[in-house]
Amino acid sequence: MKGNAMRIRAFFLVAAASLMAHAAIAAVQTAPNGFVVRHEVMLNAPPAKVYETLLAVGTWWDPAHTYSGDSKNLSIDARAGGCFCERLADGGGVEHMRVVYLATGKALRMSGGLGPLQGSGLAGAMTWGLAPSGSGTKLQLTYSVGGFMEGGFDKMAPAVEDMLGHQVARLKLLVDTGSPVPKQP
């Protein structure tokens, strides 16, 4: 019995360590003049595949966080000066962010304000960093926003952290399972 108990305990310790190695890390830092959001997660694919999937934003971004209600209207023009844009009905559109730096398979940096941040006097820099880690990829998303926002950043920063965490989770699910939404039991 003692041997079985030790094996079971060892199994759970290994399982817990494995889960911790693949768990997402999230953080938000708020100041009177802005905020920084960070998400870090491990994906079960090489950086080249993660980068390719990242650029195909319309396949994983949640449609609830679009103006059109359809993620297929989103695109990233993967070049310096390219647009992270959304097509709207009747020829309209939204520039969510502008691509300012690309390092194929390693990083994508964009500038701009997402969603409700666009209407304030803000500047934002979003960096998606990818690094090989074992047989997978360590992905780190950092979004730094500064400037003036009526009412301050105390309520907005956690909402942005939550929304971006949701997008990172959908990207991870798509890369790891082939679907951006969890499979129903």
Cβ atoms of 120 and 149 closer than 8 Å: yes
Cβ atoms of 177 and 45 closer than 8 Å: no
> Is the pLDDT at 106 greater than 90, yes or no?
yes
- Note the pLDDT tens digit of each residue in 112-161: 999 999 999 999 999 999 999 999 999 999 999 999 999 999 999 999 99
Q: Looking at the chain, how many residues does it have? A: 185
> How many other CB atoms sit within 10 Å of the CB of residue 104?
13
- For residue 9, is it within any domain? no
Residues spanned by the domain of 104: 24-177
- For residue 14, is it within any domain? no
Three-class DSSP category at 9: helix
- Note the pLDDT tens digit of each residue in 29-76: 999 999 999 999 999 999 999 999 999 999 999 999 999 999 999 999
Q: How confident is the model at residue 15, as a pLDDT? A: 32
Mean pLDDT of the chain: 89
Q: How confident is the model at residue 23, as a pLDDT? A: 52
Number of domains in the chain: 1
User: What confidence tier does 24 reach under pLDDT thresholds 50, 70, 90?
Assistant: confident
- For residue 10, is it within any domain? no
Q: What is the CATH number of the domain that holds 40?
A: 3.30.530.20
- For residue 185, is it within any domain? no
Cα atoms found within 13 Å of the Cα of residue 140, Cβ hemisphere only: 10
Percent of the chain whose pLDDT exceeds 70:
88
- Both tokens of 133, joined, read 């880690």
